[in-house]
Chain A
Amino acid sequence: MIVFMSNYLKTHSKILWVVILSVFFMLMLRITLKYIPFDSNIAFLNIKQTEVQSVSLYLTFFYIHVYSSIFTLFTGFTQFNETILKNNKRLHKAIGKLYFYTVIFLSAPSGLFIGIYANGGFYSKISFVLLAILWFWFTIQGLLKIKKNNYNQHKYFMMRSFALAFSAITLRLWKVIIVYLFEPAPMDVYQIIAWLGWIPNLLIVEYYIYKAKR
């Protein structure tokens, strides 16, 4: 049964990936659209008015993060698709550039900035800051590897990078699960998901890389 299931998953993993990503991409898009039109006191900002009023650049970086990050998730549809990789290298390159510039100049720096003011106190702040730094680092490495024509390393670093981008989704998913199961106080949830959002993602990718290397 398990063998059958894992075979099934192997053959259909591409479809499964597209379905999962589509569902969550739509949910993330819906969250992003809450912030259009621009409003200094909407959705998440409802509990961030202290920062909005006392940190002059907070709102700017927050909106850079919200508006840019959705594009990085979108690249998940094309960049790991082998058909595109083989037959349409120009598309892969173009979207890869979009991902690279968005992460390096917009999403990761803004993530670092708002991470410093994250909810949940010291422990979640460290997590979000670390997440932003690693995301930035992996993405740079991914680009440097392909400049040296090191395809495997390029793939591995971009997988790491995307695993961290994908934490936008897993973090919110964990939140739903933890609230459903334990109903903790809101900021206690925050501290947990701050770490649970990206560490398992990265571990899964590292395991894949470890397997692939052997």
Chain B
Amino acid sequence: MKNIIVLFSLFLFISCKKEEKRVENLQADKILDEKYQNLYGNWVGDFIVLEADSLVDESDYVYSNKLNLIIKKIDNNKAFGQSVVAGNSRPLSGIFSEKNGEYSFILYEPGKNNDDGKFTFKIINDTIKGIWIANDKKNKVLSRKFVLTKQAFKYNPNLMLPEDTEYVDWYSEKLDTLKEVIDDEEVTYFEETYRTASDVITKLNASTTLLKEEDIKNLKKLELEIIRNTIFARHGYSFKKKSFRQFFDPVDWYIPVTDDISRELTSIEQKNIVLLNRFQKYAEDNYDSFGR
């Protein structure tokens, strides 16, 4: 019996020791964590083409997208994060090193997607500078460069698109052929027209006000689209369609943080989205056709 008690206390003692060790380890992690915590977060800026396949037409890719490079964890010489750009959210992992106050990273996207690649960058004076190189050498865009600054993301339903901008859908080009006779010679020329949105899109907030049919009845399809997408932009949605990115990428407050916001939407927003979709569908089917 005595033996058993001794054995049991010995066992208790050992397990306590183990526990202590783990606590020590955790504390060490925390110290490391704290050391680099100021680097964690969203690093946002333009993701600009450096080198592209020379045989590919320039309209086949987007020259500049808004990139959010999220640094999530630095553990000794390892670093983890996420890249969010053009509707793609990819986990990152790779190597980290520190030298004379300069932080260097080489982070890899998983490599399963055709568009995956490698981010190589440094943080100097609160700015990230670096390049991304595609894994697939047959990719349309082979490399991109970026200069990023740290920007905190917080959902704010009051954010609006800025007023002092013209909202033109540059991807909606319609070419009209015009013919004119000048000095007895027929001259053919082309005139491009684009869809434009009125400033109503900077005034109607579909995140804070429950919209009525009356509020949006006189809106064109493009305006309905932008008002709906502004809801998504406030939640940090990364748009897959370049025709939507063109309106939000230039906006200072817009940070792409996720490719899924379905659970984030408030009940006002959900109701407004249903209404806006209904009107958009109606505009698509009826605006220019024989009918109402």
B212's nearest neighbour on chain A, judged by CB, is A50
A105 at the B interface (CB under 8 A): no
Instruction: Assess A50 versus B213: contact at CB under 8 Å? Given A186-B218, A186-B283, A188-B218.
Output: yes
Residues of A within 8 A of B213 (CB): 47-50
B281's nearest neighbour on chain A, judged by CB, is A46
In the bound complex, what is the Cα–Cα distance between A183 and B221 (angstroms)?
A: 11
Residues of B within 8 A of A172 (CB): 290-292
Most chain A CB neighbours (cut-off 10 Å) among B218, B278, B287, B289: B218
Given B220, B279, B289, B291, which contacts A47 in the complex, CB threshold below 8 Å?
A: B279
B219 at the A interface (CB under 8 A): yes
Determine if B288 and A179 form an interchain contact, defined as CB atoms under 8 angstroms apart.
Answer: yes
A31's nearest neighbour on chain B, judged by CB, is B291
Determine if A27 and B217 form an interchain contact, defined as CB atoms under 8 angstroms apart.
Answer: no
User: Helix, strand, loop or mixed for chain A's interface?
Assistant: helix
- Size of interface on B: residues with Cβ below 8 Å to A: 20
Q: How large is the interface on A (under 10, 10 to 19, 20 to 34, 35 or more residues)?
A: 20 to 34
In the complex, how many angstroms separate the beta carbon of B168 from the nearest chain A beta carbon? 14
Residues of B within 8 A of A85 (CB): none
In the bound complex, what is the Cα–Cα distance between A49 and B214 (angstroms)?
A: 10
What string of 1s and 0s marks CB contacts (under 8 Å) between A180-193 and chain B? 10010111100000
**Which residues of chain A in 40-85 are interfacial with respect to chain B, using CB atoms and an 8 Å cutoff?**
43-44, 46-50
In the bound complex, what is the Cα–Cα distance between A27 and B292 (angstroms)?
A: 12
A176 at the B interface (CB under 8 A): yes
Residues of A within 8 A of B11 (CB): none
What string of 1s and 0s marks CB contacts (under 8 Å) between A190-212 and chain B? 00000000000000000000000
Residues of B within 8 A of A185 (CB): 198, 218-220
Residues of A within 8 A of B279 (CB): 46-47
Determine if B291 and A179 form an interchain contact, defined as CB atoms under 8 angstroms apart.
Answer: no
Instruction: Assess A176 versus B289: contact at CB under 8 Å? Given A46-B278, A186-B283.
Output: yes
A173 at the B interface (CB under 8 A): yes
In the bound complex, what is the Cα–Cα distance between A31 and B286 (angstroms)?
A: 11
What string of 1s and 0s marks CB contacts (under 8 Å) between B182-205 and chain A? 000000000000000010000000
Most chain A CB neighbours (cut-off 10 Å) among B198, B281, B291: B291
Determine if B278 and A27 form an interchain contact, defined as CB atoms under 8 angstroms apart.
Answer: no
Residues of A within 8 A of B289 (CB): 176
B219's nearest neighbour on chain A, judged by CB, is A185
A141 at the B interface (CB under 8 A): no
What string of 1s and 0s marks CB contacts (under 8 Å) between A149-178 and chain B? 000000000000000000000001101100
If A31-B291, A186-B283 are given as contacts, then 20 extra A-B residue pairs at C-beta distance below 8 Å, sorted by A number, are: A27-B290, A31-B290, A31-B292, A44-B291, A46-B279, A46-B282, A47-B217, A47-B279, A47-B282, A49-B213, A50-B213, A172-B292, A173-B290, A175-B292, A179-B288, A185-B218, A186-B217, A186-B218, A186-B287, A187-B218
14 contacts between A and B (CB under 8 A): A31-B290, A31-B291, A46-B282, A47-B282, A49-B278, A50-B212, A50-B213, A175-B290, A175-B291, A175-B292, A179-B288, A180-B288, A186-B219, A188-B218
Q: Which 4 A-B pairs have the closest CB atoms?
A: A187-B218, A46-B282, A50-B213, A179-B288
Binding site for A on B (CB under 8 A): 198, 212-214, 217-220, 278-279, 281-283, 286-292
Binding site for B on A (CB under 8 A): 27, 31, 43-44, 46-50, 119, 172-173, 175-176, 179-180, 183, 185-188
